[in-house]
Amino acid sequence: MDSPADAPPESRTFLVERYWPDIDEARARALAASLERMAQAMAAEGIAVEHVGSILMPRDQVVFSLIAATDEASARQLTARVGAPADRIAVAIRLTEGDRCAAG
């Protein structure tokens, strides 16, 4: 899936929270790139999942990622395949106009 518009209509968005001591921008960028590559590989396998984006909060040592997927198990599988920590995964509802995230 190349863009958010390509996500299947039945997909939901999940927020993955990672509390990651000593995280820095380089490692966070590497994580985001890994999530992108793995999501594309999983999509090629027929698993509807997409890395929507990630942000780093360096002062708090936190990385948040938005994952579009048909279910939490697929979002969790994406995170596990890249070997990243996941302290919490929860349904997220984006509130800005034009967003495709569905209510959980």
Residue holding tokens 């495709």? 100
pTM of the model: 0.81
Q: Does residue 7 sit within a domain?
A: no
Whether residue 77 contacts residue 14, with contact meaning beta carbons closer than 8 Å, is answered with no
Q: Residue 81: inside a domain, yes or no?
A: yes
Confirm whether 35 is domain-assigned.
Answer: yes
Q: Is 57 helix (H, G, I), strand (E, B) or coil?
A: strand
Name residues whose C-beta falls within 8 Å of residue 78's C-beta, 6 or more positions apart in sequence. Answer: 35, 38, 39, 42, 49, 51, 67, 69
What is the Cα–Cα distance from 55 to 69, expressed in whole angstroms?
Answer: 18
Is residue 29, in this structure, part of any structural domain at all? yes
Confirm whether 103 is domain-assigned: no
One-letter amino acid for residue 53 of the chain = G
pLDDT tens string 41-59: 999 999 999 999 999 999 9
Q: List, for residues 11-50, the tens digit of each pLDDT value.
A: 899 999 999 999 999 999 999 999 999 999 999 999 999 9
How many domains are there within the chain? Answer: 1
Q: Which domain holds residue 33?
A: 23-92
* Residue 73 covered by a domain: yes
The pLDDT confidence band at residue 99, using thresholds 50, 70 and 90, is low
